[in-house]
Structure 1
Amino acid sequence: MSLPTALSERTLGTLSSALGLETAEDVALTSAMSPEPVGRLQVLRGGPIDKAVTVDLVVPQIGLDSHMIFAFTGSDSAIPHFTLDSVKAAEYHAMHLDLIPRADLAVHLEYLDAAFLPLTPLLEQAWQIEGVSPAAIGPRQRAMMSPWMLVCRATDAAFQALDTTVDRYVEHWLTLVDKGVPAVDAELAARDRANRANLFSPEVDHVWAQVSRLLGTDQAERVRGELVA
């Protein structure tokens, strides 16, 4: 089992156990590149969140081993969404770990301090791990995430060392889900719809062009649709 697969499965197991999630949909993803499925889309529901969406893509022919988890809180909730991408490409590992804000952090300081400030030492420690380096991501995409986003490349050893960072982010997020966050004055559902439409837009994130080439337009839109709605 690859390191990204192991991390993704362990994290999903933690979330499912803590939140009482059960698989509602499990769809094989196919490609013209292989007679066998190259991936899997799962939608899990239950507990206090709206849903969790996982996308696994494993294509040895192109050196791709990618696993994404996105746990969405309710449309009327200010609790951030949780996301983890763990990837093995041809020459490196990569990770994207974040809690996605549900309100403008600059004008909701109490919310910022409760939901995000405890992540600061975790993020600082992660960047100090030998073999962790920043991944290329533009300011346009960064604007849709949080300042506590960890988006990086990593050596094998560094990727394994980041297990603790992931575990602590998950632990903090589950605490927020359990105990709640300070109220915010915002149109939460409308903001979330707009944010997710932009976050998963092919115009913003060019990975969707690669996904479409691999899976075809219909399957790529099926995956994207679960993330947007």
Structure 2
Amino acid sequence: MPTAVFTQLPWHPSVDSVEATFAEYAPRSPKGAYPALGNVPLEELRKYWWEPISGEKRDEIIHEFLTAAQAGDALAQLALIKLLVPKAIKVVASSRQLRLYSMDDAMGTYITALWEAILTHPLARRKSLIFSLAMEALGIVNGHVKSSRRPVECPLEDWHDAAAEQQLQSASNRTEEDLAEVLAWSLSAGVLTRDEVVLLTRYYLAGDIPNSRQDLMEDHALSAEALRKKASRIRSKLVEAVRTEITEAGW
């Protein structure tokens, strides 16, 4: 585990402060301080994150930062919040709990919740960490902020963090990647078994590949109708679990 260089940093819960403090202190982090990053300097974290790296690698990086943050590394905690800003914008823009606030105030509230979620996240969990942290932070917000059904007063188009918005907009088209994130969460949360995830993926994502469902029928010794019903039951179980998770988090 990396040895903390900075155990305290002068930042407060706003995107501007997170960005400015990270920009000041990340270049001072020793090379190789976070082995999961390899030779990537910490100050180039967001640029590296935009590259096509695997979900497993992303979870490895997040878990290393989590471990370091919980051991007192303030810079690792700040790096995590920086990575979570695009997800935070998406959550804040759709959260009933935060609609009474301006976007800046809502982001400040959510970043504070992220800070707590990072310090309390069980380190035994190693999968779908971005999704898990986002939901845990929203659950923390839900425990402290009254719900509102008012529309968001500060639309996303007015948001001033251009780099984060660019990443958010580019991610919004990655439907299959989002589905993969949810499926990975369902495994780590014990909602679905590995066999159920494989069947669901093959049935819905590969449904337009010639003979794919025929092969699936043969593999499971099921008729087309029986396979459809089985896939539908698994899908319903996943949808209900996600709905429950979102409701409890106050989304």
TM-score by length of 2: 0.26
Which of the pair is proportionally richer in strand? 1
Q: Quick check: which one's helix share is greater? A: 2
Q: Which has the larger radius of gyration?
A: 2
TM-score by length of 1: 0.28
